[in-house]
Structure 1
Amino acid sequence: MASKPSVQPADAKQVKEWLDRNEILLVDVRETSEYEVEHIAGALLLPLSSFDPEVFPSLPGKKVVLHCAVGKRSEAAGKMLINEGHTDVIHMTGGLESWKAAGYATEVQLLPPDEAAPEKPVFLCPSPGEVLRNEYLEPLGISPMELAQRIGVLQGRIDDVLAGKSSVGVELSLRLARYFSTAADFWVHLQLEHDLERARHSMGEQIRQQITPRTSSL
């Protein structure tokens, strides 16, 4: 029996080369609000919250490459396509963050200035609660109470995660992964990327000024 195809990883450098040669269909599975802030030129927006593998577009002779903010949602979308019978599905590891880290350009929407409102930081890594609500509970019609009952936790625990008052630890990640058939570390990695992004914003510059890398002082 032939083995089932899997979602293939590709790094930002490889995706950039394919895109420059017009060999791929690049699909952004982040939400519309994220795409409007910043995106890769030429990427097609198909948010995971409304992702439908049955009507997924295809172009003859082109590979499909999915991407998101950090690579977790794109891999999940790729598995949905594989389950629907699609082949040659690829996702960009590290997502938009790795694309920018490699020095590649993005398109940024310039919003009109509002002098009355203070400048707010733009965050690209959503919290696990946002992903849980927007990409699982609401599309599937599952209430926080029902989810809590199905995975064996108190509803208050789910409410706190959805409100951003509580982090997702390894046990809750395992419970959510079991119920929604995601990778075991999917939810805890969302939490890690979310926390790291906010830590970089709040104290990243202070840390850079205070600490000299060991290799620089040798």
Structure 2
Amino acid sequence: MAETTEDLIAVTAQTVADWLDAGEVVLVDVRETKEYDLEHIAGALLMPLSELDADVFPVLGDKKLVLHCAIGKRSAAAGRMLLKAGHAQVLHMEGGLTAWKAAGLPVEEAIADHAAQEKVAPLFLCPTPGAVLREEYLTPNGLSPEALAGKIGVAVSTLTRLIAGERPVDAELSLRLARYFSTAADFWLQLQIEHDIERTRHALGETIRGAIRPRAA
């Protein structure tokens, strides 16, 4: 590891590669979508710096969080934003993708033949509430949607559609899930908000930034 600056820790590309192989890290690419589409590290999640909102950035659990960009400047800026917003230890990859390739580490590249190219879909940090429900609450506890529906007093179709990403969480469902799983009352609504904001940023963020000028103080 390199020296720590303002509590932002820089790690080498090889260290990040080792952590990825061991499944110990969440790697976040803060470059823009067009850069990501051209080439990216396999398994890296996309969260462009231009769209990053530190206040709604999700907590990622026990795994290390490492940010990276092209040469390390944007990832350092993003890391300091997250630290200032109160996030726990944040790391960034020193030298960015340039250092990664210089170390002989692999990247996934766009297909040269643009006629046959399939656009690389960005990966997202904020899952649907249904995915969280399935992966963190139902599966670990051996619960089926049918069993949970009976315990919280909703139709089975409500949960199956939620898990499939076909319906959002509303206030009532958030309260019912919170009561059963002993979470904060707004926990499930916050998951929905983070998911919706992230998708909308990717779809409309650039259009909104171009069309609306911030109000002067």
Kindly indicate whether residue 92 of structure 2 is the aligned counterpart of residue 106 of structure 1. yes
How far did 1:112 drift? 1.6
- 1:167 matched residue in structure 2: 168
Equivalent of 2:58, from 70, 91, 98? 70
Kindly indicate whether residue 19 of structure 2 is the aligned counterpart of residue 17 of structure 1. no
Matches within 5 A, 1:69-148: 70-71=58-59, 74=61, 99=79, 101-102=81-82, 106-107=92-93, 111-115=107-111, 116-148=117-149
| CA deviation profile, 1:168-198 (whole Å, cap 9, x unmatched) | 0111000000000111110000000000000
- 2:26 matched residue in structure 1: 35
- 2:67 matched residue in structure 1: none
Flag structure 1 segments of 5+ consecutive residues without an equivalent: 1-15, 21-31, 40-67, 78-97
Q: Secondary structure at the match of 1:106?
A: strand
Instruction: Give the TM-score of the pair, scaled to structure 2.
Output: 0.55
The CA distance in 2 between the partners of 1:33 and 1:156, in whole Å, is 36
The CA distance in 2 between the partners of 1:187 and 1:180, in whole Å, is 11
Kindly indicate whether residue 181 of structure 2 is the aligned counterpart of residue 180 of structure 1. yes
How far did 1:113 drift? 2.1
Change (3 A) 1:170 1:141: same
The CA distance in 1 between the partners of 2:202 and 2:110, in whole Å, is 22
Paired AA for residue 199 in structure 1: T
The CA distance in 2 between the partners of 1:136 and 1:38, in whole Å, is 28
Q: Is the 8 A contact 1:177 1:186 kept in 2?
A: yes
| CA deviation profile, 1:116-166 (whole Å, cap 9, x unmatched) | 432212211111011000001011100000011100000000011100000
Instruction: Give the TM-score of the pair, scaled to structure 1.
Output: 0.55
The CA distance in 2 between the partners of 1:18 and 1:184, in whole Å, is 33
Q: Secondary structure at the match of 1:214?
A: coil
The CA distance in 2 between the partners of 1:111 and 1:149, in whole Å, is 47
Change (3 A) 1:206 1:105: farther
The CA distance in 1 between the partners of 2:8 and 2:210, in whole Å, is 38
How far did 1:19 drift? 6.3
The CA distance in 2 between the partners of 1:130 and 1:33, in whole Å, is 21
Q: Is the 8 A contact 2:129 2:169 kept in 1?
A: yes
Q: Secondary structure at the match of 1:35?
A: strand
The CA distance in 2 between the partners of 1:33 and 1:206, in whole Å, is 36
Which portions of structure 1, spanning 4 or more consecutive aligned residues, are displaced by more than 6 angstroms?
A: none
| CA deviation profile, 1:89-124 (whole Å, cap 9, x unmatched) | xxxxxxxxx846348753489742252432212211
The CA distance in 1 between the partners of 2:138 and 2:145, in whole Å, is 8
Change (3 A) 1:179 1:123: same
Report how many aligned residue pairs link the two structures: 142
Flag structure 2 segments of 5+ consecutive residues without an equivalent: 1-5, 11-22, 31-55, 63-77, 84-89, 101-105, 112-116
- 2:36 matched residue in structure 1: none
RMSD of aligned Cα (Å): 3.6
